[in-house]
Amino acid sequence: MREAQGFITLVCRGDRSTMSTAGKVIKCKAAVLWETNKPFSIEEVEVAPPRAHEVRIKMVATGICRSDDHVVSGHIVSPFPVILGHEAAGIVESIGEGVTSVKPGDKVIPLFIAQCGKCRRCKHQESNICMKNDLPSKYQGKLQDGTTRFTCRGKSIHHFMGTSTFSQYTVVDEISVAKIDAASPLEKVCLIGCGFSTGYGSAVKVAKVTQGSTCAVFGLGGVGLSVIIGCKAAGAARIIAVDINKDKFAKAREVGATECVNPQDYDKPIEEVLQEMSNGGVDFSFEVIGRLDTMASALLCCDKSFGVSVIVGVPPDSQILPVDPMLLLTGRTLKGAIFGGFKSKDSVPKLVTDFMAKKFPLDPLITNVLPLEKINEGFDLLRSGKSIRTILSF
């Protein structure tokens, strides 16, 4: 028993061995959140082997996303204790019975938006919200069979969005993992697991930004910058970046913004400023913050007869956005999407292939790389606005 546990510890430290861990419990480090508004605690956890139609993954890199912080603050309700993290990339360690889409050694990206391929939503051309998803309105913190694979201090630890990537090893359902290019750099393409795809897809797939159009992007974090990259790729002529943090403007221009605006520089509502800048209203607007006031401003800044406004930011829990029906009756469109509208299992491998073909950049989005043990420092950087994306390495 000691020998097995010792080997598992070596594996978690990245050492090589020919002995297989398949079918065994793995002991490794994970960042556990025991309750809201508390720091993460680096713990030794036990990760059970994958059951039928499940995959155990050795994590290589994971990003810190605002959605994770919403759980810390209590804005997204999740059962506790929990291992968060949902934007990541790793290598398959072992598979359960019946798994056919991946094998041990494959490079993969866990999918917080599952794709079973069989339900009515998966079969719908425009939908990407599989009916088997564990989404914010009903987080259960369990895998598809209703159980968990994590144990710490003798207690069962909940999963998060079916991924739980703040752990050196995790177990996901087969419908929640995608095999990707074996040559892809996992420390970069991990962003395709959430932030980049969410922003990029909101522009090219959800809004369907048109050539020569004018766009306004509210919020210049990693997802907002990815929206800008998408708008540029779609051929937008003007991309107006909106944020109260001027320090983010240089990066916004680097990835494609043509103008940058700070609402605090004006004595009138930002929607009026944008209407004046765009001769009556922008063609497309994107709210990438998650605030009700900026959602309203993003809608109002659109052209009243054909403007399209997309909600990208995760709104506060149990909040209602009041909308005057007249704003829509004249022709505006208000819409939203999770994960940029992409069908995850189908689209993630293609997005990785596009990145490898240099169709879009990811490097400008990564500002910090830290070890898992410094996860709390990474969240401090996020909250202070001093980072775009912090990557935790294993």
Residues acting as catalytic residues: 65, 67, 70, 86, 194
Cβ-based neighbour number of residue 80 at 10 Å: 15
* DSSP structural state of residue 140: -
Cβ-based neighbour number of residue 392 at 10 Å: 25
Taking the C-alpha atoms of 31, 346, 220 and 375 in order, what is their torsion angle to the nearest 10 degrees?
Answer: 10
**Whole-number Å distance between alpha carbons of 53 and 114:** 13
Closest CA to 286 of 269, 267, 301: 301
Helix (H) or strand (E) holding 73: helix 66-73
Q: What is the 3-state secondary structure (H, E, C) of 177-222?
A: EEECCCCCCHHHHHHHHCHHHHHHHHHHHHHCCCCCCEEEEECCCH
Q: Where are the beta strands (DSSP E) in the chain?
A: 26-32, 41-47, 54-63, 87-95, 107-110, 150-152, 155-157, 169-173, 177-179, 214-218, 238-242, 259-261, 284-287, 308-311, 333-336, 366-371, 389-393
Task: Compute CA 335 distance to the chain's CA centroid, rounded to the nearest angstrom.
Answer: 19
**Whole-number Å distance between alpha carbons of 103 and 55:** 9
Rounded to the nearest 5°, which phi and psi values hold at 187? -70, -10
The three-class DSSP label of residue 127 is coil
Closest CA to 35 of 82, 86, 70, 75: 82
* Identity of residue 339: F
